[in-house]
Amino acid sequence: MHRRAFTGSLLSVLATAPAFAQSGSAPTIPEDALIQPVVLAEILKAGNPPPLLQVGFSVMYSEAHIPGSIYAGPTGTPAGIEKLKAAVRNFDKAKPVVIYCGCCPWVRCPNVAGAYRTLTGLGFAQVQVLFIADNFGADWADKGYPTAHG
């Protein structure tokens, strides 16, 4: 993924996104719920990963996402939360699930905290959140981790 294209799309999406709408702040997610990109990349490499849910903006998912992940966002909006609930309706709540966004720096992400709270509120016992410090391009794609487009 080219960082310039990613950044351009990101800016257009964020211009229309409500700041921290419904979701709170990513730094409020407990540290023990976070998974680092290198760790998730190793899990993917080993095969049989847990369900992966991208809870950000559709334009970001279309540009690049983790292979096998399901688009289930943006969870910074009530409609996005409903989409997330529908996406996990048949998931086993006792098994791990990983969510990620990557739209912007972690401290400003309008999506992951709402998704985390929604899933834990639904009774999911093992919700992990991919820690993306800056954005999906810089912290995942540019590092050579598995990436799908479209």
Question: Is residue 133 within a helix (H) or strand (E), and if so which, with residue range?
Answer: none
- pLDDT of the residue at 27: 87
Cα angle, residue 25 at apex, residues 35 and 70 outer, rounded to 5°? 50
pLDDT digits (tens, 9 = 90+) for 76-106: 899 999 999 999 999 999 999 999 999 999 9
Cα angle, residue 125 at apex, residues 120 and 131 outer, rounded to 5°? 70
Question: Is residue 135 within a helix (H) or strand (E), and if so which, with residue range?
Answer: none
- pLDDT of the residue at 46: 95
The model carries a pTM of 0.83
Residue 16 near residue 73 (C-beta atoms within 8 A): no
pLDDT digits (tens, 9 = 90+) for 11-43: 333 333 433 333 467 889 999 999 999 999 999
* Domains of the chain (ranges, CATH numbers): 3-143 (3.40.250.10)
Return the structure tokens found at 81: 């939360």
- pLDDT of the residue at 24: 61
**Neighbouring C-alpha atoms within 13 Å toward the C-beta of 89:** 5
Q: What does the alpha-carbon distance between residue 45 and residue 2 come to, in Å, rounded to a whole number?
A: 23
